Amino acid sequence: MPTPSRLRVAALTATALLLACALAGCADSQDEDLSAQKLSWKDCPAPSPAEGGGDAPSPLPGGEEWQCATLKAPLDWAKPKGDTIGIALIRARTSGPENRRIGSLVFNFGGPGGSGVSTLPAFGSDYAKLRTRYDLVSFDPRGVGRSAPVECLNDLQLDVYFEQDGTPDDSAERAKLLDNTKEFNAACEENSRKMLPHVRTTDAARDMDLMRQVLGDDKLHYFGISYGTELGGVYAHLFPKHVGRAVFDGVVDPTQNSEQGSLGQARGFQLALDNFAEDCTSQPTDCPVGDTAQDVKDRIAKLLADLDRKPIPGIGQRVLTQTAATNGIAQALYSKDFWEYLTEGLEQAYDGDGRVLMVLSDSMNGRSENGEYSNITAANISINCADDKPRYTTAAVERRLPEFRAASPLFGDFLAWSLLTCTDWAVAGAADHPDVSAAGSAPILVVGNTGDPATPYEGARKMVEALGRGVGVELTYKGQGHGAYDSKNKCVQDAVNGYLLTGKVPAAGTVCS
Protein backbone atom coordinates (compact mmCIF):
# COMPACT_ATOMS: atom_id res chain seq x y z
CA MET A 1 0.00 0.00 0.00
CA PRO A 2 1.34 3.48 -0.81
CA THR A 3 2.66 5.69 1.92
CA PRO A 4 -0.30 7.55 3.51
CA SER A 5 -0.72 11.15 2.41
CA ARG A 6 0.33 13.58 5.11
CA LEU A 7 -2.25 16.22 5.93
CA ARG A 8 -0.12 17.58 8.77
CA VAL A 9 3.44 18.88 8.47
CA ALA A 10 6.06 19.52 11.12
CA ALA A 11 6.06 23.31 10.81
CA LEU A 12 2.66 24.93 10.28
CA THR A 13 2.24 28.60 9.62
CA ALA A 14 -0.43 30.43 11.57
CA THR A 15 -2.69 30.45 8.53
CA ALA A 16 -2.30 26.72 7.95
CA LEU A 17 -3.02 26.00 11.61
CA LEU A 18 -6.25 27.95 11.45
CA LEU A 19 -7.21 26.09 8.29
CA ALA A 20 -6.45 22.73 9.94
CA CYS A 21 -8.67 23.68 12.89
CA ALA A 22 -11.46 24.77 10.57
CA LEU A 23 -11.32 21.47 8.70
CA ALA A 24 -11.32 19.53 11.97
CA GLY A 25 -14.23 21.57 13.27
CA CYS A 26 -12.39 22.87 16.34
CA ALA A 27 -12.56 26.34 17.84
CA ASP A 28 -10.87 28.38 20.51
CA SER A 29 -11.70 27.69 24.13
CA GLN A 30 -15.05 29.17 25.11
CA ASP A 31 -16.93 30.11 28.25
CA GLU A 32 -20.50 30.02 26.93
CA ASP A 33 -23.12 27.59 28.18
CA LEU A 34 -23.42 25.26 25.20
CA SER A 35 -26.83 24.04 26.34
CA ALA A 36 -28.16 27.58 25.78
CA GLN A 37 -26.92 27.88 22.18
CA LYS A 38 -29.42 28.66 19.42
CA LEU A 39 -29.35 26.56 16.26
CA SER A 40 -29.43 28.29 12.90
CA TRP A 41 -31.60 26.06 10.71
CA LYS A 42 -31.20 26.46 6.94
CA ASP A 43 -32.09 24.52 3.80
CA CYS A 44 -29.76 21.53 3.53
CA PRO A 45 -26.87 21.50 1.07
CA ALA A 46 -25.93 18.43 -0.95
CA PRO A 47 -24.20 15.78 1.19
CA SER A 48 -20.44 16.21 1.42
CA PRO A 49 -18.18 13.49 -0.02
CA ALA A 50 -17.56 12.29 3.54
CA GLU A 51 -21.35 11.86 3.92
CA GLY A 52 -21.55 9.90 0.68
CA GLY A 53 -22.12 12.72 -1.82
CA GLY A 54 -25.15 13.05 -4.09
CA ASP A 55 -27.88 15.66 -4.42
CA ALA A 56 -29.47 17.84 -1.77
CA PRO A 57 -32.48 16.10 -0.19
CA SER A 58 -35.72 16.39 -2.15
CA PRO A 59 -38.53 18.46 -0.60
CA LEU A 60 -40.84 16.74 1.85
CA PRO A 61 -44.45 15.95 0.93
CA GLY A 62 -46.21 19.29 0.94
CA GLY A 63 -43.13 21.08 -0.37
CA GLU A 64 -41.31 21.79 2.90
CA GLU A 65 -37.52 21.62 2.76
CA TRP A 66 -35.29 19.55 4.97
CA GLN A 67 -33.42 21.83 7.36
CA CYS A 68 -29.81 21.53 8.53
CA ALA A 69 -27.88 23.11 11.40
CA THR A 70 -24.64 22.67 13.33
CA LEU A 71 -24.53 21.99 17.06
CA LYS A 72 -21.45 23.17 18.92
CA ALA A 73 -20.12 20.48 21.29
CA PRO A 74 -16.93 20.08 23.34
CA LEU A 75 -14.11 18.30 21.57
CA ASP A 76 -13.23 16.70 24.91
CA TRP A 77 -16.12 16.15 27.29
CA ALA A 78 -13.60 16.04 30.15
CA LYS A 79 -12.85 19.68 29.29
CA PRO A 80 -16.29 21.14 28.52
CA LYS A 81 -14.91 24.70 28.38
CA GLY A 82 -12.17 23.77 25.92
CA ASP A 83 -12.12 23.48 22.14
CA THR A 84 -15.37 22.68 20.35
CA ILE A 85 -16.41 20.74 17.28
CA GLY A 86 -19.49 21.01 15.08
CA ILE A 87 -22.12 18.23 15.05
CA ALA A 88 -24.14 18.30 11.82
CA LEU A 89 -27.93 17.97 12.28
CA ILE A 90 -30.89 17.52 9.94
CA ARG A 91 -34.60 17.75 10.67
CA ALA A 92 -38.04 17.56 9.13
CA ARG A 93 -40.56 19.62 11.10
CA THR A 94 -43.65 17.81 12.25
CA SER A 95 -46.45 17.54 9.69
CA GLY A 96 -49.14 17.64 12.39
CA PRO A 97 -50.61 20.49 14.43
CA GLU A 98 -48.28 22.09 16.95
CA ASN A 99 -50.57 21.25 19.87
CA ARG A 100 -50.12 17.55 19.06
CA ARG A 101 -46.34 17.73 18.81
CA ILE A 102 -44.49 15.53 21.33
CA GLY A 103 -41.00 16.85 20.58
CA SER A 104 -38.04 15.72 18.49
CA LEU A 105 -37.47 12.06 17.58
CA VAL A 106 -33.72 11.53 17.17
CA PHE A 107 -32.50 8.75 14.85
CA ASN A 108 -29.20 6.93 14.64
CA PHE A 109 -29.08 4.45 11.76
CA GLY A 110 -25.97 2.57 12.80
CA GLY A 111 -22.51 1.80 11.53
CA PRO A 112 -20.83 3.04 13.55
CA GLY A 113 -19.86 5.62 10.98
CA GLY A 114 -23.11 6.10 9.08
CA SER A 115 -24.20 9.65 8.25
CA GLY A 116 -27.62 10.37 9.69
CA VAL A 117 -27.76 13.63 7.75
CA SER A 118 -27.69 11.76 4.43
CA THR A 119 -29.63 8.68 5.61
CA LEU A 120 -32.74 10.22 7.18
CA PRO A 121 -33.98 11.88 3.96
CA ALA A 122 -33.44 8.62 2.06
CA PHE A 123 -35.81 6.82 4.43
CA GLY A 124 -37.96 9.77 5.47
CA SER A 125 -41.12 8.43 3.85
CA ASP A 126 -40.87 5.29 6.00
CA TYR A 127 -41.36 7.44 9.10
CA ALA A 128 -44.18 9.64 7.80
CA LYS A 129 -46.58 8.47 10.52
CA LEU A 130 -44.07 9.31 13.24
CA ARG A 131 -43.67 12.76 11.73
CA THR A 132 -47.31 13.54 12.54
CA ARG A 133 -46.27 14.11 16.17
CA TYR A 134 -42.48 14.59 16.06
CA ASP A 135 -39.85 16.64 14.37
CA LEU A 136 -37.70 13.93 12.79
CA VAL A 137 -34.05 14.63 13.60
CA SER A 138 -30.79 12.88 12.80
CA PHE A 139 -27.11 13.76 12.90
CA ASP A 140 -23.61 12.83 11.87
CA PRO A 141 -21.99 11.55 15.08
CA ARG A 142 -18.59 13.00 15.92
CA GLY A 143 -15.93 11.73 13.53
CA VAL A 144 -18.55 11.08 10.83
CA GLY A 145 -19.59 12.98 7.71
CA ARG A 146 -19.66 16.72 8.44
CA SER A 147 -19.01 16.32 12.18
CA ALA A 148 -15.23 16.74 12.41
CA PRO A 149 -14.75 13.67 10.20
CA VAL A 150 -11.90 11.26 10.82
CA GLU A 151 -9.61 11.01 7.80
CA CYS A 152 -7.28 8.11 7.04
CA LEU A 153 -6.44 7.06 3.46
CA ASN A 154 -7.35 8.99 0.31
CA ASP A 155 -9.62 7.57 -2.40
CA LEU A 156 -6.90 5.99 -4.53
CA GLN A 157 -5.29 4.44 -1.47
CA LEU A 158 -8.65 3.05 -0.37
CA ASP A 159 -9.08 1.35 -3.75
CA VAL A 160 -5.80 -0.46 -3.09
CA TYR A 161 -6.69 -1.14 0.56
CA PHE A 162 -9.94 -2.86 -0.38
CA GLU A 163 -8.16 -5.08 -2.91
CA GLN A 164 -6.15 -6.74 -0.14
CA ASP A 165 -6.63 -10.42 0.66
CA GLY A 166 -8.78 -10.50 3.80
CA THR A 167 -8.36 -14.26 4.28
CA PRO A 168 -4.61 -14.96 4.19
CA ASP A 169 -3.55 -18.54 3.44
CA ASP A 170 0.16 -18.47 4.29
CA SER A 171 2.71 -16.54 6.31
CA ALA A 172 3.49 -14.10 3.50
CA GLU A 173 -0.19 -13.20 3.05
CA ARG A 174 -0.66 -12.90 6.82
CA ALA A 175 2.29 -10.52 7.06
CA LYS A 176 0.91 -8.45 4.18
CA LEU A 177 -2.53 -8.18 5.82
CA LEU A 178 -0.97 -7.04 9.07
CA ASP A 179 1.23 -4.51 7.25
CA ASN A 180 -1.80 -3.10 5.42
CA THR A 181 -3.68 -2.79 8.71
CA LYS A 182 -0.76 -0.99 10.35
CA GLU A 183 -0.46 1.42 7.40
CA PHE A 184 -4.17 2.22 7.53
CA ASN A 185 -4.05 2.82 11.27
CA ALA A 186 -0.91 4.95 10.97
CA ALA A 187 -2.66 7.10 8.36
CA CYS A 188 -5.58 7.64 10.73
CA GLU A 189 -3.20 8.75 13.47
CA GLU A 190 -1.26 11.01 11.11
CA ASN A 191 -4.34 12.69 9.63
CA SER A 192 -6.79 12.70 12.58
CA ARG A 193 -4.66 12.63 15.70
CA LYS A 194 -6.74 15.26 17.49
CA MET A 195 -10.07 13.47 16.99
CA LEU A 196 -9.14 9.82 17.63
CA PRO A 197 -9.31 9.95 21.46
CA HIS A 198 -12.73 11.65 21.33
CA VAL A 199 -14.94 9.47 19.10
CA ARG A 200 -16.05 6.92 21.68
CA THR A 201 -19.70 6.01 21.97
CA THR A 202 -19.81 7.66 25.39
CA ASP A 203 -18.76 10.93 23.71
CA ALA A 204 -21.55 10.61 21.13
CA ALA A 205 -24.06 9.85 23.91
CA ARG A 206 -23.08 13.05 25.70
CA ASP A 207 -23.49 14.92 22.42
CA MET A 208 -27.03 13.53 22.21
CA ASP A 209 -27.89 14.83 25.65
CA LEU A 210 -26.60 18.26 24.69
CA MET A 211 -28.68 17.94 21.51
CA ARG A 212 -31.75 17.12 23.59
CA GLN A 213 -31.30 20.29 25.64
CA VAL A 214 -30.67 22.54 22.66
CA LEU A 215 -33.68 21.10 20.81
CA GLY A 216 -35.77 22.06 23.84
CA ASP A 217 -36.83 18.60 24.99
CA ASP A 218 -37.07 17.47 28.61
CA LYS A 219 -36.63 13.87 27.49
CA LEU A 220 -34.75 12.27 24.59
CA HIS A 221 -37.17 10.44 22.29
CA TYR A 222 -35.01 8.08 20.27
CA PHE A 223 -35.03 5.52 17.45
CA GLY A 224 -31.77 3.55 17.26
CA ILE A 225 -31.00 0.96 14.60
CA SER A 226 -28.07 -1.50 14.64
CA TYR A 227 -25.11 0.29 16.29
CA GLY A 228 -27.69 2.95 17.14
CA THR A 229 -29.03 0.50 19.75
CA GLU A 230 -25.62 0.39 21.43
CA LEU A 231 -25.45 4.18 21.36
CA GLY A 232 -28.96 4.35 22.80
CA GLY A 233 -28.08 1.85 25.52
CA VAL A 234 -24.99 3.84 26.51
CA TYR A 235 -27.12 7.01 26.57
CA ALA A 236 -29.68 5.29 28.81
CA HIS A 237 -26.89 4.20 31.16
CA LEU A 238 -25.44 7.71 31.41
CA PHE A 239 -28.75 9.58 31.50
CA PRO A 240 -31.53 7.17 32.61
CA LYS A 241 -33.79 9.96 33.86
CA HIS A 242 -33.59 11.73 30.49
CA VAL A 243 -34.87 8.78 28.43
CA GLY A 244 -38.25 9.42 26.82
CA ARG A 245 -39.89 7.03 24.38
CA ALA A 246 -37.13 4.92 22.84
CA VAL A 247 -36.99 2.08 20.33
CA PHE A 248 -34.01 -0.19 19.62
CA ASP A 249 -34.22 -2.13 16.32
CA GLY A 250 -31.59 -4.56 14.96
CA VAL A 251 -30.07 -4.92 18.39
CA VAL A 252 -26.37 -5.16 19.21
CA ASP A 253 -25.57 -7.63 22.00
CA PRO A 254 -24.04 -5.36 24.67
CA THR A 255 -22.55 -8.26 26.62
CA GLN A 256 -20.11 -9.36 23.91
CA ASN A 257 -16.55 -8.26 23.29
CA SER A 258 -15.30 -7.73 19.74
CA GLU A 259 -14.35 -11.38 19.23
CA GLN A 260 -17.71 -12.65 20.45
CA GLY A 261 -19.50 -10.09 18.31
CA SER A 262 -17.61 -11.13 15.19
CA LEU A 263 -18.30 -14.80 15.91
CA GLY A 264 -21.99 -13.97 16.33
CA GLN A 265 -21.97 -12.18 12.98
CA ALA A 266 -20.37 -15.23 11.35
CA ARG A 267 -23.31 -17.30 12.55
CA GLY A 268 -25.76 -14.57 11.56
CA PHE A 269 -24.52 -14.14 8.00
CA GLN A 270 -24.34 -17.91 7.56
CA LEU A 271 -27.97 -18.19 8.69
CA ALA A 272 -28.96 -15.47 6.24
CA LEU A 273 -27.09 -17.24 3.43
CA ASP A 274 -28.81 -20.51 4.35
CA ASN A 275 -32.17 -18.73 4.19
CA PHE A 276 -31.31 -17.16 0.82
CA ALA A 277 -30.35 -20.55 -0.60
CA GLU A 278 -33.50 -22.22 0.74
CA ASP A 279 -35.67 -19.42 -0.64
CA CYS A 280 -34.08 -19.53 -4.10
CA THR A 281 -34.43 -23.30 -4.48
CA SER A 282 -37.98 -23.44 -3.07
CA GLN A 283 -39.48 -21.18 -5.76
CA PRO A 284 -41.75 -22.64 -8.48
CA THR A 285 -39.17 -21.62 -11.10
CA ASP A 286 -35.66 -23.05 -11.19
CA CYS A 287 -33.06 -21.35 -9.03
CA PRO A 288 -30.41 -20.03 -11.47
CA VAL A 289 -27.54 -20.38 -8.97
CA GLY A 290 -28.04 -23.94 -7.72
CA ASP A 291 -30.28 -26.99 -7.79
CA THR A 292 -30.48 -27.42 -4.02
CA ALA A 293 -29.74 -25.16 -1.07
CA GLN A 294 -26.48 -27.00 -0.46
CA ASP A 295 -25.60 -26.73 -4.14
CA VAL A 296 -26.08 -22.97 -3.98
CA LYS A 297 -23.66 -22.72 -1.05
CA ASP A 298 -21.17 -25.12 -2.62
CA ARG A 299 -21.07 -23.10 -5.82
CA ILE A 300 -20.54 -19.87 -3.88
CA ALA A 301 -17.69 -21.50 -1.95
CA LYS A 302 -16.08 -22.63 -5.22
CA LEU A 303 -16.48 -19.12 -6.69
CA LEU A 304 -14.71 -17.57 -3.70
CA ALA A 305 -11.91 -20.15 -3.84
CA ASP A 306 -11.46 -19.50 -7.58
CA LEU A 307 -11.37 -15.73 -7.00
CA ASP A 308 -8.69 -16.19 -4.35
CA ARG A 309 -6.49 -17.68 -7.07
CA LYS A 310 -7.60 -15.48 -9.96
CA PRO A 311 -9.86 -12.40 -9.72
CA ILE A 312 -12.30 -11.63 -12.56
CA PRO A 313 -13.10 -8.31 -14.27
CA GLY A 314 -15.15 -5.97 -12.11
CA ILE A 315 -15.79 -2.28 -12.82
CA GLY A 316 -13.43 -0.30 -15.04
CA GLN A 317 -9.87 -1.35 -14.31
CA ARG A 318 -10.75 -2.86 -10.94
CA VAL A 319 -11.13 -6.60 -10.52
CA LEU A 320 -13.44 -8.63 -8.31
CA THR A 321 -11.32 -10.34 -5.67
CA GLN A 322 -12.36 -12.98 -3.18
CA THR A 323 -12.60 -10.31 -0.48
CA ALA A 324 -14.72 -7.97 -2.62
CA ALA A 325 -17.06 -10.82 -3.57
CA THR A 326 -17.47 -11.87 0.07
CA ASN A 327 -18.15 -8.24 0.95
CA GLY A 328 -20.76 -7.94 -1.82
CA ILE A 329 -22.52 -11.14 -0.79
CA ALA A 330 -22.67 -9.93 2.82
CA GLN A 331 -24.10 -6.58 1.71
CA ALA A 332 -26.89 -8.34 -0.22
CA LEU A 333 -27.83 -10.36 2.86
CA TYR A 334 -28.68 -7.22 4.84
CA SER A 335 -32.14 -7.13 3.26
CA LYS A 336 -34.37 -9.67 1.56
CA ASP A 337 -35.06 -6.95 -1.01
CA PHE A 338 -31.44 -7.38 -2.17
CA TRP A 339 -31.61 -11.14 -2.69
CA GLU A 340 -32.55 -10.71 -6.35
CA TYR A 341 -29.36 -8.67 -6.85
CA LEU A 342 -27.36 -11.39 -5.15
CA THR A 343 -28.80 -13.95 -7.54
CA GLU A 344 -27.98 -11.72 -10.50
CA GLY A 345 -24.49 -11.01 -9.20
CA LEU A 346 -23.72 -14.68 -8.69
CA GLU A 347 -25.03 -15.58 -12.16
CA GLN A 348 -22.78 -12.96 -13.70
CA ALA A 349 -19.76 -13.94 -11.61
CA TYR A 350 -20.09 -17.58 -12.68
CA ASP A 351 -19.82 -16.28 -16.25
CA GLY A 352 -16.70 -14.22 -15.43
CA ASP A 353 -18.42 -10.84 -14.89
CA GLY A 354 -17.96 -9.31 -11.42
CA ARG A 355 -19.78 -6.02 -11.89
CA VAL A 356 -22.91 -6.57 -9.75
CA LEU A 357 -21.02 -8.08 -6.81
CA MET A 358 -18.53 -5.21 -7.01
CA VAL A 359 -21.36 -2.64 -6.94
CA LEU A 360 -22.65 -4.34 -3.79
CA SER A 361 -19.15 -4.35 -2.27
CA ASP A 362 -18.65 -0.68 -3.15
CA SER A 363 -21.92 0.11 -1.39
CA MET A 364 -20.70 -1.62 1.75
CA ASN A 365 -17.41 0.32 1.61
CA GLY A 366 -19.00 3.71 0.95
CA ARG A 367 -17.57 4.12 -2.58
CA SER A 368 -19.60 6.21 -5.04
CA GLU A 369 -19.64 5.74 -8.81
CA ASN A 370 -17.17 8.59 -9.29
CA GLY A 371 -14.58 6.84 -7.12
CA GLU A 372 -15.04 9.01 -4.03
CA TYR A 373 -15.40 7.31 -0.65
CA SER A 374 -17.47 8.47 2.27
CA ASN A 375 -15.58 8.36 5.55
CA ILE A 376 -17.67 5.44 6.87
CA THR A 377 -14.70 3.04 6.94
CA ALA A 378 -12.41 5.49 8.72
CA ALA A 379 -15.15 6.42 11.18
CA ASN A 380 -16.24 2.82 11.75
CA ILE A 381 -12.73 1.65 12.57
CA SER A 382 -11.95 4.72 14.68
CA ILE A 383 -15.08 4.41 16.82
CA ASN A 384 -14.83 0.65 17.23
CA CYS A 385 -11.14 0.77 18.14
CA ALA A 386 -11.72 3.58 20.63
CA ASP A 387 -14.56 1.61 22.22
CA ASP A 388 -13.20 -1.95 22.18
CA LYS A 389 -10.42 -2.84 24.62
CA PRO A 390 -9.23 -6.20 23.17
CA ARG A 391 -6.33 -6.25 20.72
CA TYR A 392 -5.46 -9.37 18.70
CA THR A 393 -2.39 -10.86 17.07
CA THR A 394 -2.11 -13.12 14.03
CA ALA A 395 -1.33 -16.02 16.37
CA ALA A 396 -4.49 -15.35 18.37
CA VAL A 397 -6.60 -15.26 15.21
CA GLU A 398 -5.08 -18.53 13.99
CA ARG A 399 -6.07 -20.21 17.27
CA ARG A 400 -9.65 -19.02 16.84
CA LEU A 401 -10.05 -19.92 13.16
CA PRO A 402 -11.57 -23.40 13.74
CA GLU A 403 -14.40 -21.93 15.82
CA PHE A 404 -15.10 -19.23 13.23
CA ARG A 405 -15.06 -21.76 10.39
CA ALA A 406 -17.48 -23.97 12.30
CA ALA A 407 -19.80 -20.97 12.69
CA SER A 408 -19.62 -20.15 8.97
CA PRO A 409 -17.72 -21.99 6.25
CA LEU A 410 -18.12 -18.94 3.99
CA PHE A 411 -17.74 -15.95 6.30
CA GLY A 412 -15.75 -17.42 9.20
CA ASP A 413 -12.23 -16.71 7.93
CA PHE A 414 -13.17 -13.23 6.77
CA LEU A 415 -14.61 -12.22 10.15
CA ALA A 416 -11.87 -13.91 12.16
CA TRP A 417 -9.10 -12.03 10.36
CA SER A 418 -11.03 -8.77 10.77
CA LEU A 419 -10.11 -9.00 14.46
CA LEU A 420 -6.72 -7.55 13.47
CA THR A 421 -8.35 -4.22 12.57
CA CYS A 422 -7.41 -2.50 15.84
CA THR A 423 -3.89 -3.91 16.05
CA ASP A 424 -1.47 -1.08 16.87
CA TRP A 425 -4.31 1.46 17.04
CA ALA A 426 -3.13 4.79 18.44
CA VAL A 427 -5.80 5.02 21.16
CA ALA A 428 -6.49 2.43 23.85
CA GLY A 429 -9.93 0.83 23.77
CA ALA A 430 -12.31 1.83 26.55
CA ALA A 431 -13.84 -1.48 27.66
CA ASP A 432 -14.54 -5.10 26.77
CA HIS A 433 -18.16 -4.20 26.08
CA PRO A 434 -20.48 -1.24 26.70
CA ASP A 435 -22.33 -0.69 29.97
CA VAL A 436 -26.04 -0.21 29.21
CA SER A 437 -27.53 -0.79 32.66
CA ALA A 438 -30.20 1.88 33.00
CA ALA A 439 -32.07 1.61 36.30
CA GLY A 440 -34.74 4.30 36.48
CA SER A 441 -35.11 4.70 32.71
CA ALA A 442 -38.47 4.84 30.98
CA PRO A 443 -39.40 1.64 29.08
CA ILE A 444 -37.31 0.95 25.97
CA LEU A 445 -38.88 -1.16 23.21
CA VAL A 446 -36.27 -3.68 22.00
CA VAL A 447 -37.05 -5.30 18.62
CA GLY A 448 -35.19 -8.45 17.53
CA ASN A 449 -35.37 -10.10 14.09
CA THR A 450 -34.89 -13.89 14.00
CA GLY A 451 -33.21 -13.74 10.57
CA ASP A 452 -30.94 -10.77 11.20
CA PRO A 453 -27.42 -11.41 9.80
CA ALA A 454 -25.57 -8.43 11.26
CA THR A 455 -27.06 -8.24 14.76
CA PRO A 456 -28.23 -11.78 15.53
CA TYR A 457 -31.58 -12.20 17.23
CA GLU A 458 -30.13 -13.34 20.55
CA GLY A 459 -28.75 -9.84 21.09
CA ALA A 460 -32.22 -8.44 21.72
CA ARG A 461 -32.75 -10.63 24.79
CA LYS A 462 -29.25 -9.80 26.02
CA MET A 463 -29.99 -6.08 25.65
CA VAL A 464 -33.24 -6.43 27.59
CA GLU A 465 -31.44 -8.22 30.41
CA ALA A 466 -28.56 -5.73 30.46
CA LEU A 467 -30.81 -2.67 30.53
CA GLY A 468 -32.24 -3.99 33.78
CA ARG A 469 -35.51 -5.01 35.29
CA GLY A 470 -38.50 -3.01 34.13
CA VAL A 471 -36.63 -1.13 31.36
CA GLY A 472 -36.27 -3.30 28.26
CA VAL A 473 -39.44 -4.65 26.62
CA GLU A 474 -38.73 -7.33 24.01
CA LEU A 475 -40.63 -7.71 20.72
CA THR A 476 -39.74 -10.48 18.25
CA TYR A 477 -40.10 -10.30 14.47
CA LYS A 478 -39.88 -13.61 12.63
CA GLY A 479 -38.41 -12.28 9.40
CA GLN A 480 -35.33 -11.71 7.28
CA GLY A 481 -32.85 -8.86 6.94
CA HIS A 482 -31.19 -6.40 9.25
CA GLY A 483 -33.74 -4.74 11.52
CA ALA A 484 -37.51 -5.07 11.59
CA TYR A 485 -39.33 -1.73 11.25
CA ASP A 486 -38.27 -1.14 7.65
CA SER A 487 -39.47 -4.62 6.67
CA LYS A 488 -42.91 -2.95 6.45
CA ASN A 489 -44.36 -5.66 8.69
CA LYS A 490 -47.63 -4.20 9.97
CA CYS A 491 -47.44 -5.88 13.36
CA VAL A 492 -43.97 -4.44 14.04
CA GLN A 493 -44.85 -0.99 12.76
CA ASP A 494 -48.11 -0.84 14.71
CA ALA A 495 -46.27 -1.77 17.92
CA VAL A 496 -43.45 0.75 17.37
CA ASN A 497 -45.75 3.53 16.21
CA GLY A 498 -48.14 2.86 19.05
CA TYR A 499 -45.42 3.31 21.63
CA LEU A 500 -43.77 6.35 20.07
CA LEU A 501 -47.04 8.13 19.24
CA THR A 502 -49.26 7.25 22.21
CA GLY A 503 -46.92 5.88 24.85
CA LYS A 504 -48.58 2.45 24.80
CA VAL A 505 -45.96 -0.17 25.60
CA PRO A 506 -46.54 -3.53 23.84
CA ALA A 507 -46.78 -6.61 26.01
CA ALA A 508 -43.33 -8.06 26.70
CA GLY A 509 -42.71 -11.10 24.51
CA THR A 510 -44.96 -9.96 21.65
CA VAL A 511 -44.19 -11.92 18.46
CA CYS A 512 -44.76 -10.60 14.93
CA SER A 513 -44.46 -12.75 11.81
State how far the Cα of 80 lies from the Cα of 70, in Å rounded to an integer: 17
Q: Is 132 helix (H, G, I), strand (E, B) or coil?
A: coil
Q: Catalytic site residue 226?
A: yes
CA-based nearest residue to 95, from 51, 146, 131: 131
Catalytic entry in 207, 482, 486, 487: 482
Q: Which of 83, 207, 452, 486 is catalytic?
A: 452
Inter-helix orientation angle 293-309/339-350, to 10°? 50
Active-site annotation holder among 48, 104, 147, 226: 226
12/257 Cα distance (integer angstroms) = 40
Question: Which conformational region is residue 242 in: left (phi greater than 0), alpha (psi within -120 to 50 degrees), or beta?
Answer: alpha
482 included as an active-site residue: yes
Closest CA to 299 of 309, 289, 307: 289
Helices 458-467 and 227-238: angle between axes, nearest 10 degrees: 10
User: Rg (Cα) of the chain, in Å, rounded?
Assistant: 22
> Cβ(261)–Cβ(253) under 8 Å?
yes
User: At 23, is the secondary structure helix, strand, or coil?
Assistant: helix
Residues 246, 471: contact at Cβ < 8 Å?
Answer: no
For 6, 21, 332, 467, 493, the CA distances from 489, given in Å and listed in that order, are 49, 46, 20, 26, 6
Cβ count within 10 A of residue 19:
12
What are the catalytic residues? Answer: 226, 452, 482
